[in-house]
Structure 1
Amino acid sequence: MTSFLTELQRRNVHRAALFYAGAAWLLVQIATQVFPFFDIPNATVRIVVIAVVVGFPFAMLFSWFYEWTPQGIKLESEIDRSESVTKQTGKTLDRWIIAVLALVVVLLLTDRLTPSKAAAGLADKSIAVLPFENLSAEPANAFFANGIQDEILTGLARIGDLKVISRTSTQRYSSRPGNIAEIAKELAVAHILEGSVQKSANRIRVNVQLIDAATDNHLWAETYDRELDDVFAVQSEVAQKIAASLKAKLTPAERVALTTSPTANPAAYALYMKARASSGQMSRQEIDQKIAIYREAVALDPDFALAWAELSRYASVAVWGGYGDDQLALEGQAALDRATALAPELPQVAKARAVFLYYGRRDYAGALTTLEPVKKALPGDFDVWLLSGLLERRLGLWQQAVADFERARLLAPKDDFVIFTVAATQALIGHYDAALALLAETRLGLDADVPSALWIRPQCLWVLGRLDDAEQTLAQMPAGLPAVQSLQGLQALYRRDYPVAIEQFRKAVASKADLDWDLSFSSYIPARIEWQLRLAMSEQLAGATEQARADYEQVKALATSALAVKQKSANPEAAWRSAMAIALAGLGETAAAVEQAQQAIATLADANDALEGPGWQYYLAVTYAMTGDAAKAVAILDRLLHRPSSLLTVELLKLDPIWDPLRQDAQFRSLLVEGKAKTAAVAAP
């Protein structure tokens, strides 16, 4: 073995390997950086990488069998040892190795030490498209302004070399604001596009102007007077001109996507734009409206793949939200099949498939795999990154989820749902201070605009044991909202102020609000069900036994009625069974309560869902605690304390009266001491 290693050194094989590795790395870097500039396909880069990998063993064999001599290359076996010049060749190779390694170091240091230049390059290629002004005389044509803005955004979002702010973040601004520089700063972009649209009969006029936000200079302005049939060409030309003005590099695939019309039917395309132009709110009315319009579009053009894909996507969303029935689910699947048959290569079709797998099949891993190439094809679509993060949370890929949510927030910095999702995810992994810091930059979670987000600020403070801060936060919220009343009830309950807790919970329950939010049974049943259970508990603790019994009986009756009807999925059934279990436990029906709680877990096909799983375990622990089985309750709590998504800490265990039945249990007391370390471990990044 020693002689073999000595021979390797004598023949300079080790030097050849080092030189080859350095030179190959440089060649790959040149290919990946320079080839795209000349629109050389990515396949060529892959060929270069494969070639250098495959070439390595051949290079090593060559250096073993051959020697470079003053007379040229000769077989090593033909050279007399006394005439060998391997030492001189080795010195030459050393000089070449030093030169190559020096180049490698320079490239690495340049990449590491000049991030600001790269960031500046990205900022130079950033743009926000403000709402287009509607100049049409007929109100029915107003959607054209939003539709054209949205389609220009969609085209720009395909370009990987651009940063494009989503419409959900720009729609709050006016069409022609006077404070361009301020808006650009808020959205972190260098350029603003303004525009107006006027539709009259079968003609359309589109005015656009690209503005340098730093100087307020108009880089270019254009007016397009076209037939309505030519509206896609206008959008395509605008997107391409913006890309050229910002010196964005377009790949061949991006160029084809920008210039390929999705349909030859102008009326179908107008309907498609109308559906996309409506607000981004996911209300039942909004979703039903979009589905109806997409149905009209595909009726006019049965070969309109994008419309089929969007019809499938919103059908999946409707079924997941409980708005759609089995028939709509089948329609959504058929629409996806049609879109796939027409245009299997379209990233929007793959996106629709990912949504279908997520919402229609709960196949989170399959959906995420389907979405991976979509992120490359639609790098500027914030919704793709948001969906990816939602899937990663379900799979327990928390850090990847945070990264994708942050990417979505970069593209949609003013989107309330994106901000809420980032903050909620930080809270779910125990980064409560980070969540609060993000929320401190906005009014989100304080105003009535997004009631589903109201819980997050006080919850982050409660798990940290900061009741006084939570009191101040609740004081900033609109007091008359049922959601706020329920939060004030929890605050009073944690302070052991049972009369105030009863008053607030009673108001919230009496409102009959149908609010669904993540804090209560994973939003599968109305939040007022949990409010009424908390009301009954408060009454029980205050000594109002009969009233508590009446409230528990009412929840039991509601759950019994709901479970008598076939649920749309296992999750609402699990939610009702969990609520039933707690109500039965409050009524003293121990065996029935435990049976319902265990059946709730058994019902779930995805009980190991990393996002919702801890919630179902939490309700099982509550049932065990209320029925006197401390050992099982503590065992579950012990697991939840070091599991993301539980929103459970030692501080909250100390505060919440729901755990009072466990206070005298030795294992529970030990958990309150030992659990601090486990909670800290969850919070670690």
Structure 2
Amino acid sequence: MTDLVDRLKVAIADRYTIQRELGRGGMAAVYLATDLRHDRPVALKVLKPELAQALGADRFLREIKTTAQLTHPHILPLLDSGDADGFLYYVMPYVEGESLRDRLTHEKQLPVDDALQISREVADALSYAHSHGVIHRDIKPENILLQTGHAVVADFGIARAVDQAGGDKLTETGLAIGTPAYMSPEQAAGSQDLDGRSDLYALGCVLYEMLAGQPPFTGPTVESVIHQHLAVEPPNITAIRPAVPAQVAATLQRALAKTPADRFNPVALFAEALGSRGSAAVTSAPVMTVSHVPRRFSWERIALLGIAALVVIGAAIVVGRWTRSGSPEPSATGTHPRSAIAVLPFENLSGEGPNAYFAAGLHDELITQLAKVAALKPISRTSVMEYATRTKPLRQIADELTVGTIIEGSVQVVGERLRVNVQLIDAATDQHLWAERYDRTLDDAFAVQSDIAHQIVAVVGATLGGAEQMAIAETPTANAEAYRLYLQGQEYYQRPGYLRRNWEIAQDFYERAVALDPTFALAHAVLSELHGRIFWHRHDPSPDRLVRQRTEAEIALQLAPNLAEAHRAMGLVHHFERDGQAALEEYHIALAGMPNDAFLWNLIGGVNRRLGHWDEALGALDKLVALDPRNADRFRDLGGGTLRFLHSYQEAVEWYSRAMALAPDVAGVDVERGWTWVEWHGRLDSLRAALDRHLPDVDLGDEGSASAARARMLFWERKADSLLALLRRTPQPVFDGQQFYLPTALYAAWAHQLRGDGVAAQAAFGSSRALLDSVVALLPDDWRVHAARGLALAGLGRRHEALREVRWLEQSPAYREDALDGPLLGEDRARILAAVGESDAALEEIERFLTRPSELSVHTLRLDPRWDPIRNDPRFQALLEKYDPPQPVRF
């Protein structure tokens, strides 16, 4: 980011001097700058590089000329625009006054006359802009500035250029215009055919908030807010604010009509209906009460817009309301219940010595305890960790996490003394609800944690059931040293990145803990989960690791049959043994004891997906996002990954984009989004751009290495020489990912085939087969290895041996019982069949997965050279025509 700003400063040095950054949104960064030519402060808005690339300089500068022509007392003028070394920018006056959002934050509700005046002035500005063909698309309190007692609308700068660029270009960037709390139903439904009535609806939402203290629709998730815009009538404003005149209430209801045709048009009629200042009760204004508004904007009509799944529409536009940190900005400060709680990372006052783990360990365990209380909504540890440095106001943190209560604390270990300071804060008022200072011995660590949990429950007014009371109070071990070792293990286990070295250190601490106290059931349970995840993430894929996982889970259950963590651990055993139904049963037992545990909900979503329970998987995603709203991996895997598999490619891209906004440096998300574009439109350019943004050897997580992804891309591009050059630079002999195990020699064989060098291809196929023969002896149940071996044997012309692997794959539990691995395995099975001349069986398999959840699409069929043996078969070509374009899977 610093390099980017430095480049920008150099690029515009002859015109502007940047002083500091003022803010950052979904589309652009804004800087306070000095206009050198006129010696005045200005607001310099610079488009994000990906948006600038999608729009192009010529298009942007051409379309923004129209915006520059807008001259109106209530529109912030555009002073300048340009392209400087690839940076697209536009310049506006710097307004030192506050925004409407600032005033609402201070006052919450505005006097009726003030609210009506602001609305009339914004309506005047919109009416003028609409008459010049410009739709704003993002009217909200943040874009309404208050200057010398009057409203000035800002940010007309991007709307027209983006609108003219078209939706596909915008979706490709992962960016969007619009803010869910103020978005019209038609914009929320994804319509590109918007007019001034959409802006009017947004202004109605703003007026509603000025009068009520919150927008007409709020909710714990973006999706819930979007659903209300589409299908729910807002509460009558007079029920919330009786002082609002009936005529104003009726006017507001008409502005918020679901169907655009039932709103005022043009927007000037809305301003007229509100009357002049001091005449809010004028009765001659044309109004329509909500009881007479026909609700034609129904679910059926939305379906006509081509929306595949309304539950994820919010993903398309949430980026447009993201703040500098990349999180959803608030719909209204102070609207979240106190039972929604964020425990911010405890400050470590012990230094970096041997006791530094106490702060992280106690913090993590406190969240775990609160997750056992059904009446609370504690935010997951992964989502609160970014706030460890406290660079944001508490209210902003609360809104980003959608919580009403913030918990702060510090931990210090001095000798054998444990000192903990903790305080509960009402996020809406900054009022301290409770504070306590504990000065105990280290042996009392769990007692301190348990007491804090009880105090939190009491202060927020939650009620504990008998089982919850026991779960919070029950001491996990009587051995204080074992508990300390457990906390140290937790600190390493919870570190980001799933790194093997961290998990091996955590394993050592857990094993030392259970050695000191063999009855420590909680430590056995977590050790079991760690063994399983070390296996699953391929740090140690040996069967012995699964045996150790099961052993520890069984010990935990024997010691504590009612321990939720023990049932979660046993569920994970069944999960990794591919017994999804048994896993789900254990997870639901665990859920009764820890109903708000984000990790557990992630497991429930994952196993439902493998069982083919797609609705249940997406339902778990909704719950997970509420509990873990800042965890990019949730958006990537259970969000983007699931929807990609369901061929709901647009929604998948949008979920990946949300993940990238939270974690822009995570290469795996970027590359998975690139593959989604390939499956959706057959375009490799987005994938190539994603790979070019990251180091060639970067780890992509489940997707393996970036080299593996680039090898597949070059193969599909049929660039044999480039592929061979890449393989020569690749030190590892195998590309190893969650769902593939491909020797580099196998890729070399395919590259030689593309070059027409049959001798070199046979030699490479032989090398890959030899390697795979040795691996299959070590991993006899690994379908990935059998699939690769079948492909190698097919390349060697060993038809009967290749077909034996086809039969092995067909009988494997992954193929028969796993809705996630099965289709991937099925693709490889079809490739082997095609390679050995079994066209009928191959084509049958292909059609099966074109109509079911999978990563197969007509575009991947066209690109992948491994389908060349049947490419000229008329039945293959018929499939390409039949299933183009790809459609979301019905399930």
TM over 0.5: yes
Taking structure 1 as reference, are residues 443 and 207 closer, same or farther at Cα in structure 2, changes over 3 Å only?
same
**Aligned equivalents of 2:379, 2:466: Cα separation in 1:** 23
Normalising by structure 1, we get a TM-score of 0.74
Which one of the candidate residues 647, 657, 670 is aligned to 1:440? 657
1:583 is matched with which residue? 792
1:594 is matched with which residue? 803
1:308 is matched with which residue? 524
Q: Does 1:622 align with 2:831?
A: yes
**Aligned equivalents of 2:682, 2:662: Cα separation in 1:** 17
2:567 is matched with which residue? 350
- Deviation, structure 1 residue 402: 1.6
Partners of 1:368 and 1:391 within 8 A in 2: yes
**Aligned equivalents of 2:865, 2:553: Cα separation in 1:** 49
- Deviation, structure 1 residue 279: 4.1
**Aligned equivalents of 1:174, 1:486: Cα separation in 2:** 35
Q: Secondary structure at the match of 1:262?
A: coil
Taking structure 1 as reference, are residues 179 and 304 closer, same or farther at Cα in structure 2, changes over 3 Å only?
same
Moved more, 330-339 or 667-676: 330-339
**Aligned equivalents of 2:709, 2:536: Cα separation in 1:** 27
**Aligned equivalents of 2:657, 2:346: Cα separation in 1:** 31
**Aligned equivalents of 1:513, 1:250: Cα separation in 2:** 56
1:517 is matched with which residue? 737
Taking structure 1 as reference, are residues 606 and 599 closer, same or farther at Cα in structure 2, changes over 3 Å only?
closer
**Aligned equivalents of 1:596, 1:614: Cα separation in 2:** 16
Pairing of 1:395-544 with structure 2 (within 5 A): 395-421=611-637, 422-443=639-660, 449=666, 451=668, 453=669, 455-467=671-683, 469-471=685-687, 473-474=689-690, 477-481=693-697, 483-504=705-726, 506-507=728-729, 510-512=730-732, 516-518=736-738, 522-523=739-740, 525=741, 529=743, 532-544=745-757
1:14 is matched with which residue? none
1:335 is matched with which residue? 552
Moved more, 425-434 or 327-336: 327-336
Partners of 1:486 and 1:504 within 8 A in 2: no
Q: Secondary structure at the match of 1:680?
A: coil
- Deviation, structure 1 residue 471: 4.9
* RMSD, aligned α-carbons: 2.9
Q: Secondary structure at the match of 2:420?
A: strand
**Aligned equivalents of 2:686, 2:537: Cα separation in 1:** 31
**Aligned equivalents of 2:852, 2:692: Cα separation in 1:** 31
Q: Does 1:680 align with 2:882?
A: no
- Deviation, structure 1 residue 559: 0.6
**Aligned equivalents of 1:474, 1:488: Cα separation in 2:** 10
**Aligned equivalents of 1:478, 1:472: Cα separation in 2:** 10
- Deviation, structure 1 residue 408: 1.7
Q: Secondary structure at the match of 1:221?
A: strand
Describe the superposition over 1:593-651 as per-residue Cα deviations: whole angstroms up to 9, x where unpaired. 2233333433547633111111121111111212222212111101111121x211122
Pairing of 1:166-315 with structure 2 (within 5 A): 166-280=380-494, 281-315=497-531
Partners of 1:175 and 1:194 within 8 A in 2: no
Moved more, 470-479 or 589-598: 470-479
**Aligned equivalents of 1:405, 1:398: Cα separation in 2:** 11
**Aligned equivalents of 1:627, 1:560: Cα separation in 2:** 20
> Unaligned regions of 5+ residues in structure 1, if any?
1-115
2:874 is matched with which residue? 666
Partners of 1:207 and 1:222 within 8 A in 2: yes
**Aligned equivalents of 2:650, 2:807: Cα separation in 1:** 35
Q: Does 1:549 align with 2:724?
A: no
Q: Secondary structure at the match of 1:199?
A: strand
1:129 is matched with which residue? 343
2:604 is matched with which residue? 388
Describe the superposition over 1:556-601 as per-residue Cα deviations: whole angstroms up to 9, x where unpaired. 12112213x342x51x2x3222212212222333333223333343
**Aligned equivalents of 1:656, 1:331: Cα separation in 2:** 40
Amino acid in the other structure paired with 1:657: P
Taking structure 1 as reference, are residues 194 and 476 closer, same or farther at Cα in structure 2, changes over 3 Å only?
farther
Pairing of 1:66-145 with structure 2 (within 5 A): 123-137=337-351, 139-145=353-359
Q: How many residues align?
A: 551
Moved more, 328-337 or 290-299: 328-337
Partners of 2:335 and 2:404 within 8 A in 1: no
Q: Does 1:648 align with 2:856?
A: yes
Describe the superposition over 1:219-251 as per-residue Cα deviations: whole angstroms up to 9, x where unpaired. 332211112222222111211222222222322
Flag the structure with larger Rg: 1
Taking structure 1 as reference, are residues 222 and 399 closer, same or farther at Cα in structure 2, changes over 3 Å only?
same
1:146 is matched with which residue? 360
**Aligned equivalents of 1:585, 1:613: Cα separation in 2:** 21
> Identity rate of aligned residues, in percent?
33
- Deviation, structure 1 residue 218: 3.0
**Aligned equivalents of 1:331, 1:550: Cα separation in 2:** 40
Taking structure 1 as reference, are residues 658 and 448 closer, same or farther at Cα in structure 2, changes over 3 Å only?
farther
2:94 is matched with which residue? none
Amino acid in the other structure paired with 1:581: G
**Aligned equivalents of 2:544, 2:872: Cα separation in 1:** 53
Amino acid in the other structure paired with 2:786: R
Normalising by structure 2, we get a TM-score of 0.58
Partners of 2:334 and 2:427 within 8 A in 1: no
**Aligned equivalents of 1:175, 1:549: Cα separation in 2:** 58
**Aligned equivalents of 1:338, 1:479: Cα separation in 2:** 44
- Deviation, structure 1 residue 137: 4.6
**Aligned equivalents of 1:454, 1:552: Cα separation in 2:** 32
Q: Secondary structure at the match of 2:350?
A: coil
